[in-house]
């Protein structure tokens, strides 16, 4: 028998993976909105895990800010390069 915690994790993964792919494919504003929601969710979970450890809390928050900022920056640069290559390749033929 699967314990309750593992069952909840599997169920949430089944639901969150397609939602994540949707927001990643949509890109732009919806992707950034999704990243902000995920950032607040992970920050809240991090603050719950590190109740009495102030230094660890601050370092974790800086890590999350760094991670989510560069993820959104990478996604934006990747899509800009993709569309530039796609637009230029239309004029080659």
Domain ranges of the chain: 4-92
- Which residues have CB under 8 Å from 72's CB, separation 6+? 31, 32, 35
Q: Is the pTM of this model over 0.75?
A: no
**Is residue 80 over pLDDT 80?**
no
- pLDDT band for 30, please (50, 70, 90 cuts): confident
Angle at 35 between CA 21 and CA 78, to 5 degrees: 65
Look at 69 and 12; give whichever has higher pLDDT. Answer: 12
Nearest-angstrom CA–CA distance, 76 and 11: 30
Q: What is the pLDDT of residue 86?
A: 56
Q: What is the pLDDT of residue 14?
A: 94
Instruction: Compute the average pLDDT of residues 41-48.
Output: 85
């Amino acid at each position: 028998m699967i314990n309750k915690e593992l069952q909840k994790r599997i169920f949430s993964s089944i639901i969150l993976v397609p939602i994540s792919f949707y927001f990643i494919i949509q890109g732009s504003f919806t992707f950034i909105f999704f990243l902000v929601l995920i950032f607040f969710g992970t920050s809240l979970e991090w603050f719950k895990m590190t109740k009495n450890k102030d230094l660890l809390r601050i370092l974790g928050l800086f890590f999350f800010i760094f991670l989510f900022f560069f993820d959104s920056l990478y996604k934006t640069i990747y899509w800009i390069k993709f569309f530039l290559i796609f637009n230029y390749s239309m004029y080659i033929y």
